[in-house]
Structure 1
């Protein structure tokens, strides 16, 4: 195989080989490997996901539902959502509040979840609603399925005295409803 075969589309070399060919021919690797006609991503490559100024508790106190939570949108690459199998699904974004899911989720992180996916899978993260004596509260917790019983727990139980032990989904006192499965967590690095 030659550089000419590559340029004529007969084969595509491995990255290291392509870099060496570029060096041997005094060519710019990016231009040679990716082409000069690479278009910048357009808005058509992205989709908007609605974000709500709704907090979701990560710590001791859950976040009460805000009936008129302010909305905005975040853009996600369609290809990324397709790879996860969630493009076109009912997605939403809430924001974490608290420390009981550290280091997985930090206070203030954006949390993308799929409202249409409420089937509990062991080890996955979910936005849940806990029904108690007061108003229902939202949390993000990790699912644990033990002997057919579903529990939810914190990743950092030392950060939250209310979630030091896993809680049963079917509790008679404070039943839990799954709102949606978490697929992405984003926040600013320190």
Structure 2
């Protein structure tokens, strides 16, 4: 039988997804900075080397912020979601000589180019080395993504952790450059290629944010100071 502390941690993950991220959940719950929630999610050791847990007061605060009934944080809610799992088949190795399937499409993977998830660096995204990754054409179509607009690169740095760790491969839709608040984008910021959360601000300005807000402060810049390469729609990492 699971402990209440374990159940609350699982439910915190559900609330983060429902709110659209840790930062958004922190705002809804009235926390000025999301760092406290990050410490709980990451099980960061604090006093006596022990990680923080979600107490009753915090649980009630989160329930109220997300319009959940009293006691919701202490009840299991994952069973229903897990029952939706379906068998998709086995994983099969492939290389450049493997024929492309009917529902497959290959996209360029700029393996030697990294989009900074830190302070950024200068590079030309059009440098191409011949590497490619495969996506299901039907999956891209479901999300209204044209295969010819997709490129993959590597995220470098820790500013987008824990969501996008250092070394993560990310997929960029170059056909989606319109900023939607809270979404992740690949941008060229004054010659630096970066992957960041963007939010529009009054006066034709843009707020640039990192998931790792403990180490990286928000930046507000003029819209003309950045060039949106495209929206990050997919990421994958091996641990």
Structure-2-length-normalised TM-score? 0.53
Q: 2:183 aligns with which of 116, 124, 138?
A: 124
Q: In structure 1, what is the Cα distance between the partners aligned to 2:106 and 2:154?
A: 17
Q: In structure 2, what is the Cα distance between the partners aligned to 1:169 and 1:142?
A: 15
Unaligned ranges ≥5, structure 1 = 1-29, 31-41
1:159 aligns with 2:218: no
Count of residue pairs the alignment pairs up:
138
- Which structure's relative contact order is higher, taking Cα pairs within 8 Å and 6+ residues apart? 1
CA offset digits 1:124-145 (Å, max 9, x no partner) = 11000111xxxx1100000112
Q: CA RMSD in A?
A: 2.0
Verify the 8 A CA contact 2:116 2:156 in the aligned structure 1.
yes
2:236 aligned partner: 186
Q: In structure 2, what is the Cα distance between the partners aligned to 1:169 and 1:183?
A: 24
Unaligned ranges ≥5, structure 2 = 1-86, 88-99
Verify the 8 A CA contact 2:137 2:147 in the aligned structure 1.
no
Distance 1:169 1:115, change over 3 A: farther
Q: Find runs of 4+ consecutive structure 1 residues off by over 6 angstroms.
A: none
Q: 1:44 aligns with which of 102, 106, 111?
A: 102
1:57 aligned partner: 116
Deviation at 1:156, TM superposition (A): 0.8
Q: In structure 2, what is the Cα distance between the partners aligned to 1:116 and 1:58?
A: 21
1:110 aligns with 2:181: no
Q: Which protein is richer in strand relative to its size? A: 1
Verify the 8 A CA contact 1:150 1:169 in the aligned structure 2.
yes
Structure-1-length-normalised TM-score? 0.66
